[in-house]
Amino acid sequence: MADKKRKQKRRRSDLSSDDEAVLPFKDILIPDSDLLETLKQLLGAHNAVSTSTSSSKPLTLSDLNLSATCREVTDLSLSSVQSAIETLILQVAHSIVAGNGFSFQVPSRASTNQLYVPELDRIVLKDKSTQRPFSHVSSVRKSTITVKILSLIHQLCLKNIHVTKRDLFYTDVKLFQDQTQSDAVLDDVACMLGCTRSSLNVIASEKGVVVGRLTFSDNGDMIDCTKMGMGGKAIPPNIDRVGDMQSDALFILLVEKDAAYIRLAEDRFYNRFPCIIVTAKGQPDVATRLFLRKMKMELKLPVLALVDSDPYGLKILSVYGCGSKNMSYDSANLTTPDIKWLGIRPSDLDKYKIPEQCRLPMTEQDIKTGKDLLEEDFVKKNPGWVEELNLMVKTKQKAEIQALSTFGFQYLSEVYLPLKLQQKDWL
Amino acid sequence: MADKKRKQKRRRSDLSSDDEAVLPFKDILIPDSDLLETLKQLLGAHNAVSTSTSSSKPLTLSDLNLSATCREVTDLSLSSVQSAIETLILQVAHSIVAGNGFSFQVPSRASTNQLYVPELDRIVLKDKSTQRPFSHVSSVRKSTITVKILSLIHQLCLKNIHVTKRDLFYTDVKLFQDQTQSDAVLDDVACMLGCTRSSLNVIASEKGVVVGRLTFSDNGDMIDCTKMGMGGKAIPPNIDRVGDMQSDALFILLVEKDAAYIRLAEDRFYNRFPCIIVTAKGQPDVATRLFLRKMKMELKLPVLALVDSDPYGLKILSVYGCGSKNMSYDSANLTTPDIKWLGIRPSDLDKYKIPEQCRLPMTEQDIKTGKDLLEEDFVKKNPGWVEELNLMVKTKQKAEIQALSTFGFQYLSEVYLPLKLQQKDWL
| Three-state SS at B138 | coil
* H or E segment to which residue A417 belongs: helix A417-422
Interface test with A, best of B205, B281, B285, B402 (most A CBs within 10 A): B402
Taking an 8 Å cut-off on Cβ atoms, the answer to whether B229 and A209 are in contact is no
Strands (E), B140-274: 163-164, 202-203, 209-212, 215-218, 221-224, 233-234, 242-246, 251-255
Q: What is the pLDDT of residue A88?
A: 95
Q: CB of B227 within 8 A of CB of B221? A: no
CB B409 within 8 A of CB B263: yes
Mean pLDDT of chain B: 86
Which chain B residues are Cβ-neighbours of A259 within 8 angstroms? 164, 166-167, 205
Distance of residue B3 Cα from the nearest chain A Cα, in angstroms: 20
- Cα A361-A366-A369 angle, rounded to 5 deg: 155
Residues B313-346 have pLDDT tens digits of 999 998 998 887 777 778 888 889 889 999 899 9
ipTM over 0.85: no
pLDDT at res. B75: 85
Contact A235 B231 (CB under 8 A): yes
- A43-69: burial string, b at 16+ Cβ within 10 Å, e else: beebeeebeeeeeeeeeebeeeebeee
Q: What is the pLDDT of residues B106-164, one digit of tens each?
A: 999 888 888 888 888 778 888 899 999 999 999 999 999 999 999 999 999 998 888 88
- Residue A243 β-bridge partners: A217
- Percentage of residues in chain B with pLDDT exceeding 70? 91
Contacts of B174 in chain A (CB under 8 A): 355, 357
Of B156, B234, B404, the CB nearest to A209: B234
Active site residues of A: 170
Interface test with B, best of A167, A263, A290 (most B CBs within 10 A): A167
Cβ of A409 within 8 Å of Cβ of B220? The answer is no
Average pLDDT over residues A286-312: 94
pLDDT tens-digit profile of B361-370? 999 999 999 9
Say if residue B100's pLDDT is above 70.
yes
Q: How many residues does chain B have?
A: 427
User: Which of A386, A384, A381, A383 has its CA nearest to residue A371?
Assistant: A386
Question: Do the chains contact at A233 and B237, CB–CB below 8 Å?
Answer: no
- The answer to pTM > 0.90 is no
pLDDT of residue A188: 93
Look up residue A358 and give its DSSP letter. G
Q: Which of A203, A238, A406 sits opposite B170 (nearest CB)?
A: A406
* Best-predicted range by mean pLDDT (A23-27, A129-133, A381-385, B304-308): B304-308
Chain A residues inside the 8 Å CB shell of B206: 209, 231, 258, 262
**Average pLDDT of span B185-213:** 89
User: Quick one: which of B234, B177, B218 has its CA closest to A210?
Assistant: B234
- pLDDT at residue A13, as a whole number: 39
Position A36 confidence tier, pLDDT thresholds 50, 70, 90: confident
Q: For chain A, what's the residue count? A: 427
- Give the residue-averaged pLDDT of B285-304: 93
Q: Is residue A50 predicted with pLDDT exceeding 80?
A: no
Asked if B163 and A409 come within 8 Å (Cβ–Cβ), the reply is yes
A-B contacts (CB, under 8 Å)? 190
- Most A CBs within 10 Å: which of B405, B412, B414, as the mutation test of the A interface? B405
Amino acid letter at A237? P
Angle at B241 between CA B236 and CA B246, to 5 degrees: 85
Got the DSSP string for B324-367?
Answer: -GGGGGGHHHH--S-EEEEE--HHHHHHTT--GGGSEEPPHHHH
| C-beta pairs of A173-178 under 8 Å, 24+ apart in sequence | A173/B355, A173/B357, A173/B358, A173/B403, A173/B406, A174/B355, A174/B357, A175/A141, A175/A144, A175/A145, A175/A148, A176/A145, A176/A148
Average model confidence (pLDDT) for chain A?
A: 86
Q: What is the pLDDT of residue B277?
A: 97
Residue B256 and residue A104: Cα distance in Å, rounded? 38
What pLDDT, on the 0 to 100 scale, is given for residue A51?
62
Q: What pLDDT does residue A2 have?
A: 45
> B19 vs A171: CB contact, 8 Å cut-off?
yes
Return all residues near B12 (Cβ < 8 A) that are at least 6 apart.
Answer: B26, B29, B414, B415
Q: What is the Cα–Cα distance from A30 to A418, expressed in whole angstroms?
A: 8
pLDDT greater than 70 at residue B425: yes
Q: Diameter of chain A by CA atoms?
A: 86
Mean pLDDT of A307-319: 93
Residue B37: how many CB atoms within 10 A of its CB? 12
Residue B311 · residue B370 · CB < 8 Å: yes
Q: Are B232 and B203 in contact (CB under 8 A)?
A: no
Q: A358 to chain B, minimum CA–CA distance in Å?
A: 6
More confident residue, A181 or A47: A181
Residue range A314-342, pLDDT digits in tens: 999 989 988 877 777 788 888 898 899 99
| Residue from the list B262, B281, B355 with its beta carbon closest to the beta carbon of A162 | B262
